[in-house]
Structure 1
Amino acid sequence: MTIELVKPYSPEKHHSHRDVTGGWLRPAVFGAMDGLVSNFALIAGVVGAAGAGRGAVLAGFAGLIAGACSMAAGEYTSVKSQTELMRAEIAAERRELARNPEGEQAELAALYRERGLDAELARRVAEGLSADPEQALRVHVREELGVDPDDLPSPRLAAASSFGAFAVGALVPLVPFLFGASGLALALVLSVLALFGFGAVVARMTARPWWLGGLRQLVLGVGAAAVTFGLGHLLGVAVS
């Protein structure tokens, strides 16, 4: 007689997910890259036109402060507007649920039928979810608008992330000139390393090859700086 041992059931361990909402990653990445590229390009243009010196330092500081403030204001306004639009649509959905709950329940059932549930199961699921008005609102907002009403992007977080990241990125090419650098060489080396490093870090955060993200950002940043330096040099020669 063979006795078959049955392994005890153990619940599946689901992997965890990173936070992909909250409104901080995009402005932080964009701010750091924009600060580094734009300020290095600005400094390169000034050096190309007038040479290294006090003008390069002043231009770098001006670019850092103006760019960080502009980025923060732009991010705050854009995310605030987006959030206000979402809240307006959520309010409209709440009013519709209060005015026509049967129609909204039928709409939810139809949506689940489109996703493959049979008519009776879709009706029961929609009925169960619609029993609690707040739960029904969350479900309708997620299904129809594609947003989580309990986790809308934060304008302040987006603005702060953008300001800080831009300032850090813009400071990198400025550092050598604060210590008396007489040319672009050291600023170029630091900017190249930072561009590659930022790109690699972002690539790792988004599960892409680190070297590919680093090279992509390096090519884009160096290309922008080269164009600005060339224009500055040509303008400087023309003026002189």
Structure 2
Amino acid sequence: MRTKEELQKAYEKHQEADVHGLWIREYVRDIVFGGNDGIVTTFAVVAGTMGAQLPHSVVIILGAANLLADGLSMATGTYLSLRSERDKFRRLRKEELQEIEEDPEVEAEEVRQAYREKGFEGADLEKAVSIITADNERWADVMMHEEHGLTEEASGKPALHGFLTFIAFILFGSIPLFPFVFGVAHDTRFTVAIISTFCALILLGIARSYLTKERLIRGPIEIVSIGALGAFAAFGVGVMLKNLVGVVL
């Protein structure tokens, strides 16, 4: 059996690993989802224009427009969503502090009921309630978690999350356009775009598997499948519309 000092060191090491892992996973999520949306939507634009047999200049124009518009849309959506969560947390916590001041007996009973459901009884239950309610800030934090299922960490940093989402969207979303912008032979551009997109999707899938702690193969298979489905659909629509309306540029 380990000594108290050894247990304390092991606990601190475990907590440090958890905090570091949580921080990494939190921002990897923005990169994975932003990058996935960027590359899938841009490659869909590329596939659609190629299916319609439009000039490669159109691929660049539509792809760049998609990158900027959709990237900003996704980033601002992420920012506004997380800011709303943060504002909601702050508002509810302020209300909890006010309720603690106005009717502490009822709020203490809510804590008591919550911990009774966790298995606390008798003197242990009353001791837990006494410790929690001895400090209003701690009390409010417990009520936020037990009553609302919210923690301050979950509200995040909306501006940073939005920024990372935008950067990931732009960087990964640019990959399908590279062959059309940088001197690749005209008749191999679409093929190179397919290969580079496939490789990037596999990379994102591996990152997603790390993020969700699922089997390593599952993330790449699902992300590549979704990307392929979107590309086939866009290419098919391009071919269909070309045949229907006779696009000539």
Is structure 2 residue 144 aligned with structure 1 residue 141? Answer: yes
How many angstroms apart in 1 are the aligned matches of 2:83 and 2:46? 32
CA distance in 2, matches of 1:158, 1:52: 36
- Distance change in 2, residues 1:21/1:109 (3 Å): farther
Q: Who is 1:210 aligned against?
A: 216
Instruction: Provide, for residues 6-46 of structure 1, a one-character-per-residue CA deviation record: whole Å limited to 9, x for no partner.
Output: x7736332433121699644433221100000000011101
Q: 2:231 aligns with which of 225, 235, 239?
A: 225
Pick which of 18-27 and 153-162 moved more.
18-27
Match of 2:37 among 34, 37, 40: 34
Contact 2:96/2:140 (<8 A) preserved: yes
- 1:82 Cα offset (Å): 1.8
Length-normalised TM-score, structure 1: 0.90
CA contact (8 A) 1:83 1:152 kept: yes
Cα deviation, 1:122-167, whole Å, max 9, x if unaligned, reads 1111111111111111121122222223663221012111101111
In 1, distance between residues paired with 2:89 and 2:41? 32
Residue aligning to 1:66: 69
Aligned twin of 1:188: 194
List gaps (5 residues or longer) in structure 1: 1-6
Q: Name the CA shift for 1:8/1:140 in 2 (closer, same or farther; >3 Å).
A: closer
Identity rate, percent:
29
The Cα of 1:51 is off from its aligned counterpart by: 3.4
> 1:45 aligns to what?
48
Structure with the bigger percentage of helix: 2
Could you tell me which of 157, 162, 165 is aligned with 1:159? 162
**CA 1:143–1:78: 2 relative to 1, 3 Å:** same
Assess if the C-alpha contact under 8 Å between 1:35 and 1:64 holds in 2.
yes
Query: Which amino acid counterpart does residue 242 of structure 2 have in structure 1?
Result: G
Alignment RMSD (CA, Å): 2.0
Distance 2:61 2:153 in 1: 45
Match of 2:241 among 231, 235, 240: 235
Tell me which of 98, 101, 106 is aligned to 2:101: 98
Q: Please, what TM-score do these two structures have when normalized by structure 2?
A: 0.87
Q: Could you say if the C-alpha distance between residues 237 and 70 of structure 1 is closer, same or farther in structure 2, counting changes exceeding 3 Å? A: same
Q: Which runs of 5+ in 2 are unaligned?
A: none
Runs of 4+ with deviation above 4 angstroms: 20-23
Matched position secondary structure for 2:217: helix
Compute the displacement of 1:218 (Å): 0.6
Q: 1:172 deviation in Å? A: 0.7
Does the CA contact (< 8 Å) of 1:39 and 1:63 recur in 2?
yes
Question: CA contact under 8 A between 2:29 and 2:208: conserved in structure 1?
Answer: no
